[in-house]
Amino acid sequence: MKPARSRTRRALWWSLGAAAVLLLLIAAVAWRMVRSRPAWWNPAEAQSTGNIVRGEYFENQVVTAFHKVRPPEAARWTLELDDQWINAWLATRLPLWAANRGLSWSATVDEANVDIGDGRIRFGLSYGPAGAGQPYSIEFRPRLDENGRLRIEDLRLRAGRLRLPLGFAGEALFSAAGSLPEARAAIAGQPIDPVLRLSDGRRVVLRDLTFEGERLILTLETLAER
């Protein structure tokens, strides 16, 4: 009986050892995925003269478009958002924007970038020290429903290349949304009114959105103060 017991013991130890090796391999693959940046990840170079010019131009164009006084017959207008121009703004202007509002952006975020395509928007940032931050990203499909309300569909969250369960990361998203009820509602999949109120009382309403390659084209309407 002893040889049989010995063989059983050895088989058990071999099984436990193989399971441990398998778990270590899974953990190693998961860790590598968590630390890897998605294939679309392509932040702009902050020190590039071209990106500095593009970022400032993009900001001026958007601000001017939203605040322009238009006659009633031209109340509807379009805005084209190209991810390369957005990324230039994120790299060169966002840190300045945050600093002017007392936010320590560069101390915690090393990279930020956007990818537009396939009817989806992907936003990612690297949280932590320069060159060693942890990449996180959020991906979703925006849509206007039959009532003209904005919905965020097919929401996906990732740490590196590893997709996270929404239940696991939902609390972190709600915390990041802070006291913004519209952002919290959108994350929860609830429709929101796509209206931006300007400082002079006018309103800019999103009427349509379409994707063309790496561009998102918004149709907006400027409404008088009410």
Report pLDDT for 198: 93
Both 147 and 105 in a single domain? Answer: yes
Average pLDDT value for the chain: 83
Asked whether residue 43 is domain-assigned, the answer is: no
Both 89 and 26 in a single domain? Answer: no
Report pLDDT for 73: 87
Both 87 and 168 in a single domain? Answer: yes
For residues 126 and 111, is the Cβ–Cβ distance under 8 A? yes
The pair of structure tokens assigned to 196 is 């931006």
Both 158 and 94 in a single domain? Answer: yes
Asked whether residue 20 is domain-assigned, the answer is: yes
State yes or no: pLDDT of 18 exceeds 80.
Answer: no
Both 152 and 56 in a single domain? Answer: yes
SS (H, E, C) the chain: CHHHHHHHHHHHHHHHHHHHHHHHHHHHHHHHHHHCCCCCCCCCCCCCHHHHHHHHHHHHHHHHHHHCCCCHHHCEEEEEEEHHHHHHHHHHCHHHHHHHCCCCHHHHEEEEEEEEECCEEEEEEEECCCCCCEEEEEEEEEEECCCCCEEEEEEEEEECCEEECHHHHHHHHHHHHCCCHHHHHHHCCCCECCEEECCCCCEEEEEEEEEECCEEEEEEEEECCC
For residues 152 and 158, is the Cβ–Cβ distance under 8 A? no
Both 131 and 187 in a single domain? Answer: yes
Give residue 14's domain range: 1-35
Q: Which residues are registered as beta bridge partners of 224?
A: none
| Element at 148 (helix H, strand E) | none
Asked whether residue 204 is domain-assigned, the answer is: no
Asked whether residue 72 is domain-assigned, the answer is: no
Asked whether residue 71 is domain-assigned, the answer is: no
Report pLDDT for 190: 84
Both 132 and 158 in a single domain? Answer: yes
Report pLDDT for 147: 94
Asked whether residue 61 is domain-assigned, the answer is: yes
Both 132 and 177 in a single domain? Answer: yes
Both 19 and 104 in a single domain? Answer: no
Report pLDDT for 15: 66
Asked whether residue 24 is domain-assigned, the answer is: yes
Residues 6+ apart with CB under 8 A from 133: 109, 110, 111, 126, 127
Q: How far is CA 45 from CA 10, 42, 72, 86, 146, in A?
A: 57, 9, 41, 12, 40
Tens of pLDDT, residues 107-147? 677 789 999 999 999 999 888 777 678 899 999 999 999 99
Report pLDDT for 162: 87
| Element at 101 (helix H, strand E) | none
Count structural domains, the chain: 2
Confidence of residue 164 (pLDDT cuts 50, 70, 90): confident
Least confident of 32-36, 45-49, 53-57, 171-175: 171-175
How much is the average pLDDT of 166-171? 63
Report pLDDT for 49: 95
Least confident of 64-73, 169-178, 179-188, 216-225: 169-178
Confidence of residue 176 (pLDDT cuts 50, 70, 90): low
Both 127 and 185 in a single domain? Answer: yes
Confidence of residue 4 (pLDDT cuts 50, 70, 90): low
pTM surpassing 0.75?
A: yes
What percent of the chain is modeled with pLDDT above 90? 46
Report pLDDT for 189: 75
